[in-house]
Amino acid sequence: MTAPPHDGTETETDRRVAQALRAHTAVADAAVLGPAGNRTAYVVPDPLHAAPLHRAATVEAAGLPAGLEWHEPADELRVAGVNRTESDFLHREIFTDNAYLRHGITLPEDAVVVDVGANIGMFTLHAARHSPRVRVLAVEPVAELAAAATVNAGLYGVDATVLTCALGAEAGGTELTYYPNNSVMSGRYARADEDLPVLRGYLLTGEGGEQGRQLDRLVADRMTAERRHCAVRTLTEVVAHAGLTRIDLLKIDVEKAEADVLAGIDEALWDRIRQIVLEVHDLDGRLAEIVSRLRARGFTVTHDQDPRLALTPCHNVYGRRAGTRPAAPPRTAPPPLATMRALERRLREHLARQAPDLPAPDRFALVPDVGTVSAALAPGVSVPGPAPATPRTAVLSEVWNEIFGPGSDRPDADFFDLGGDSLTAVRLLARLEERLGEEALAPDAIFTDGTFAGLAAAVEASGR
């Protein structure tokens, strides 16, 4: 069931709400349309006070690159990504846990950073938070991820060049394994028989991790693989082509190919690398070997392991030379308004103060120009209505409310926006199967359409 389409007519009340929204500094223009119970505020973000959202609206209008969607892992960060759980994971690892900027690793104001294994560019954005005039050379062999890194650098105005290739000991080409549902483990040496236990071990060390068939199903779903071909270049080659005269930080996260990347660095380039951070898979004594090699080149080296990776061979190695340039002063200005949820929260508060007599919109949407709204509404805008009241949907409602709290089973409620993650998905699958039998819900459904309405449709379909 969906709300009826709207013909695009704006009422007097809608005009007054739109006028009130335009008074907010983050809004350049606005229009409110839709029938009662389904009114949408179409907002043009201000290019100065909400620059990332303004750029996001422009990108959205032109069309995100294939395979990408918007994710908001934190109130201050909107990114294009391929997988919601991975965007959340990368944000936690890089922004919250500060995995790469520790043990004395710092960035000067005008840092030159080489981000090898950039994925969607999350570390590139983190580096820009610490170095206001950073220049980044980002290298990512998977085309979808490289496209996301390019979009994300553009959203925040980061001076970044993104190369779609792998790095190795010599130039050429190679085959790589790409896990669309678990891209962070993709690479030229990815092997399901090795990688599946690593992912399983990571999930088991998380809070609430538990053994079971549902965990195994989820892990198997995340490790569905594709074979890809990609070009290979050396780090020496790409640095010379980019004209970099120094590297303040070389960050490497390439899933068991770290030794190949290091082998592509010639003697002259080694002397220009001031700091290095890399993830090392400690297979066949590789951790000790790389630590020894970096110390021999004059780096002070330490290493650690994320507690959540205790059941895996993954370690982080940090190398720093004496005389590293001083760090940029701490950032004092707040980050720009960059997420839809932060904008919506501020606009609802603004309307409550400035126009308490007017009904607030039911939802908000970004547009680059309100003149495009009528065209977008041509066939009518609709939103999910309540799921059909069937016994299977009732079970989903009970389980959903047990996990996320009473009343959380709204049609448009999103599994991840409510705080769900891979471990929550395991619990949801387990409880549904207890009540509805095996295969009540495919793990992939949670990651492709995590709204309550979408999952209710999937649960109903599995019953048929």
12-50+337-376 topology per CATH: GMP Synthetase; Chain A, domain 3 (3.30.300)
460 CB-near residues (< 8 Å, 6+ apart) = 388, 390, 392, 393
pLDDT band (50, 70, 90) for residue 102: very high
pLDDT > 60? residue 220: yes
Distance CA 342, CA 72 (A): 10
Structure-block tokens of residue 381: 């805008």
- Asked, colleague to colleague, whether 69-190+225-320 and 391-463 share their fold, the answer is no
pLDDT > 50? residue 285: yes
Query: How far is the CA of 292 from the CAs of 24, 455, 458, in angstroms?
Result: 57, 51, 53
391-463 topology per CATH: 1.10.1200
What is the reported pLDDT for 418? 80
Per CATH, the homologous superfamily of domain 69-190+225-320 is: Vaccinia Virus protein VP39 (3.40.50.150)
Whether residue 386 contacts residue 1, with contact meaning beta carbons closer than 8 Å, is answered with yes
What are the boundaries of each domain within the chain?
12-50+337-376, 69-190+225-320, 391-463
Which has more confidence, 132 or 462?
132
Q: How long, in residues, is the chain?
A: 464
- Mean per-residue pLDDT for 48-70? 93
Please choose, from the candidates 337, 353, 338, the residue with its C-alpha nearest in 3D space to the C-alpha of residue 21.
Answer: 353
Least confident stretch, 40-54, 152-166, 242-256, 302-316: 302-316
| Strands lying side by side in the sheet with 172-178 | 166-167, 226-233, 172-178
pLDDT > 60? residue 185: yes
Distance CA 303, CA 317 (A): 4
Q: What is the SS3 string spanning 110-149?
A: CCEEEEECCCCCHHHHHHHHHCCCCEEEEECCCHHHHHHH
Whether residue 245 contacts residue 269, with contact meaning beta carbons closer than 8 Å, is answered with no
Whether residue 351 contacts residue 21, with contact meaning beta carbons closer than 8 Å, is answered with yes
pLDDT > 70? residue 356: yes
Structure-block tokens of residue 31: 């229009």
Please choose, from the candidates 96, 101, 147, 92, the residue with its C-alpha nearest in 3D space to the C-alpha of residue 121.
Answer: 147
For 349, half-sphere exposure in the C-beta direction (CA atoms, 13 angstrom radius) is 7
Whether residue 252 contacts residue 209, with contact meaning beta carbons closer than 8 Å, is answered with no
Query: How far is the CA of 251 from the CAs of 101, 112, 184, 193, in angstroms?
Result: 10, 11, 15, 27
pLDDT > 60? residue 324: yes
Structure-block tokens of residue 36: 């009662």
Please choose, from the candidates 89, 69, 222, the residue with its C-alpha nearest in 3D space to the C-alpha of residue 147.
Answer: 69
pLDDT band (50, 70, 90) for residue 136: very high
